[in-house]
Amino acid sequence: MLSLEHVSVTFHEGTPNEVRALQDLNLHVRAGDFITVIGANGAGKSTLFNVVAGVVPVDSGKIILNGRDVTNQPEYRRSLHIGRVFQNPILGTCPGLTIREHLSLAALRGKRLGLGSGVKHSNAAWFYELVKSVNLGLETRLDTDIALLSGGQRQAITLTMATMMKPKLLMLDEHTAALDPNAGAQVLELTVKLAEEYGLTVIMITHSMQQAIGVGNRLIMMNRGRVLFDVSGLERETMRYHDLIERFRSLQTGDELSDRTLMS
């Protein structure tokens, strides 16, 4: 479904600030995978998403999405197939626009139409049902300015927007990290529900070990721009929090994998 073959990205090459963000990275994502990605700060997790989305060009290597080589395809073309949600709920939304207007914009993805045609009457029932299924009571507030919603409510709408056109791939970059535990749990639950309902392929970056082992079918650990650890199947299902911490320790390459990063 998605393959990264020998992908390398270096920022500020040849300067004292040189960072080898991705180093000969290989990853094969199967359709229907729900992958959790963990790794220390600076491991290259967000850069991985940026190269898949086409925001950051690769220095070398290939990206294949649904059988097509998209390595040199511009971001806007790939975005038709990719949904993304970031850590900050404000990033994915626009104050001054209502929930309905946000959904209308998301409904235009991949269509050559003006904004007016997105706010169609025929979408009203669909939007109502979409927001009702989020289970936060927001279906009666479709004409409320998004700026008036809490972070968790906004993130639930952002997630709805990212999934409603059923993208082939959903990439979540610590999308619950800025929320309180309760709102975070609700958004995570919604994530799992949408993934199942739409049969999405999901890659979810998280710093929560509990999330990393509690959600999805496959777990990847990144370190220094590489996939260090990739576990699925029975091994993944039977993995417990303490096993995971132990695996990290045994894989430590003697540098930046601090306990603080791992346990957070």
Ligand X SMILES: Nc1ncnc2c1ncn2[C@@H]1O[C@H](COP(=O)(O)OP(=O)(O)OP(=O)(O)O)[C@@H](O)[C@H]1O
Residues engaged in binding Mg ion (CB under 5 A): 45-46
Q: Are 245 and 263 in contact (CB under 8 A)?
A: yes
Q: CB 166: neighbour CB atoms within 10 A?
A: 13
How is residue 190 written in tokens? Answer: 């919604």
- 123 vs 131: CA distance, rounded Å: 12
Residue (42 or 151) nearer to ligand X, CB: 42
Q: How far is the CB of 163 from ligand X (least distance, A)?
A: 22
For residue 102, the partner it binds in ligand X, Mg ion, none, with Cβ less than 5 to 8 A by kind, is none
Q: What is the DSSP string of 44-78?
A: SHHHHHHHHHTSS--SEEEEEETTEE-TT--HHHH
Asked if 11 touches ligand X (CB under 6 A), the answer is yes
Q: CB 122: neighbour CB atoms within 10 A?
A: 6
Residue span 49-88 as binding mask against ligand X, x where in contact by CB under 6 A, dash where not: ----------------------------------------
In terms of DSSP bridges, do strands 201-205 and 34-39 run parallel, antiparallel, or are they unpaired? parallel
For residue 84, the partner it binds in ligand X, Mg ion, none, with Cβ less than 5 to 8 A by kind, is none
Asked if 19 touches ligand X (CB under 6 A), the answer is yes
For residue 198, the partner it binds in Mg ion, ligand X, none, with Cβ less than 5 to 8 A by kind, is none
Asked if 155 touches ligand X (CB under 6 A), the answer is no
The single residue among 7, 21, 131, 194 that binds ligand X, judged by CB under 6 A, is 21
How is residue 23 written in tokens? Answer: 């180093």
Q: How far is the CB of 41 from ligand X (least distance, A)?
A: 3
**What is the gyration radius of the CA atoms in the chain, in angstroms?**
19
Residue span 24-53 as binding mask against ligand X, x where in contact by CB under 6 A, dash where not: ---------------x-xxxxxxx------
For residue 36, the partner it binds in Mg ion, ligand X, none, with Cβ less than 5 to 8 A by kind, is none
Q: CB 169: neighbour CB atoms within 10 A?
A: 22
